[in-house]
Amino acid sequence: MKNYIRIFFLSAPILFFAGCSSDDVTNNPVIVDPPVVVATDPLTNSNTTTYMVDANATKETVALFYNLKKLAKSKFAIGQQDAFISFYKNSSGESDIKKITGNDPAIIGSDLSFVTDIRNDGTTSNWFYQQEVKNITQIKNAYAKGIINTVSWHLRGPKNKNYSETDKEEYTFYANSMFEADKSIFFRSILPGGTRHEWFKEKLDQVAAFSSKLKGTKGELIPIIFRPFHEFDGSWFWWGADFCTPEEYKTVYKFTVDYLKNTKGVHNILYAFSPDRTYLTSTDYLSRYPGDKYVDVLGMDNYGDFDNQGTTGANTANSKLKIISDLAKTKVKIAALTETGYRVTSSKTPINDWFSNYLYSALTSNSIEVSYVMFWNNDENGYYVPNGSVSNDADFKTFSLKSKSALLNSLPKMYELPK
């Protein structure tokens, strides 16, 4: 989580989360294993489920996996968290991406935090339920346009030690806001047999119910890319590396997938594995990997390498993307930069050519194949994506027009398999 941004739910709640990632920059070299050369593309439109988590996935979900995997050979989809519901300086209307480019984003991020919050009572007057409805509406509107949907989960669990009667954020996902006693036990308590395992199952029941509400105009279930327990290699969330062993993390991840897929019968999800940028080798990256049977998308969240690090940072980020790109080729999975951005505020100015030079280079150098990149959300006080009224508008527009960049206007039909 960006260290200089905090999330508040005060008397006037804010509909966004800060970008998630640490800004600590390592000077250690990134070691890229030699790629395994695949003579022919093993993925076909008739064997796609062979490589997916869910062999019983809906046909639209199968098509999304196939088309995302194929897209990476020539382009990467560009999108943003909360693109339809959160804007720089609250300039509502079209997404900020469309304001500047004239085209809709190719991918939109939503979040389940409001859905599973203990204060969501499911009534129309309830603020948390209202945010759930906004996210459902955003996903439906995106799907109707042909946009890809990805969903993160800032799961609030432990009590916030800083809670007061005027603060709506009684529960937290931030480790530094937790009571010390909760830090060491909370993740382990949701393991099968743990004291809060039934609580966790109830949260997954809510996730399943949410996914069942996502339907297109013909009644078909809308596919989503689900990123549970992201940035687990850091320790800013209560599911981070300091609070569980690799085996404990894998157990909870596997349980999450098995419970949703097998117990609840959810078949419109692709599952994303999404650490932060701390890994330096493929072995590092896979240290908490639950296995190919549980992951569709090999992702990375990375803010720090792009935080005014210039060419050096872009090269470092590219080396890490190269690791997951090569793994995705070998495993026949999807590779993605699942979160990134450089947040501009009144006190933090844009970096020249950040989009068109540094980020584009990181996403395309060394023959990597990345299916999408998602920027974190804009808000009243800052932005990750320009909106047509700021000084780095031209840089983003140049980035969006490059040969490997894809907004919605250059996406194929993502929810149909080619004939």
Q: Write a three-state SS string for 172-240.
A: CCEHHHECHHHHCCHHHHCCCCCCCHHHHHHHHHHHHHHHHCCECCCCCECCEEEECCCCCCCCCECCC
Q: Which two tokens stand for residue 221?
A: 């279930």
Q: Which two tokens stand for residue 417?
A: 């398999």
Q: Which two tokens stand for residue 274?
A: 């999404």
Instruction: Assess whether 60 carries a catalytic annotation.
Output: no
Query: Nearest to residue 408, comparing CAs of 144, 152, 221?
Result: 144
> Strands 344-345 and 382-383, how do they pair?
antiparallel
Q: Is 205 exposed, middle or buried (0-12, 13-18, 19+ CB in 10 A)?
A: middle
Sign of the torsion formed by the C-alpha atoms of 245, 247, 248 and 249 = positive
Alpha-carbon distance of 314 to 304, in angstroms, equals 10
Choose, from 165, 339, 369, 416, the residue flagged as catalytic. 339
CB–CB of 222/143 below 8 Å?
yes
Instruction: Assess whether 339 carries a catalytic annotation.
Output: yes
Choose, from 202, 231, 369, 380, the residue flagged as catalytic. 231
> Which residues does the annotation mark as catalytic?
231, 339
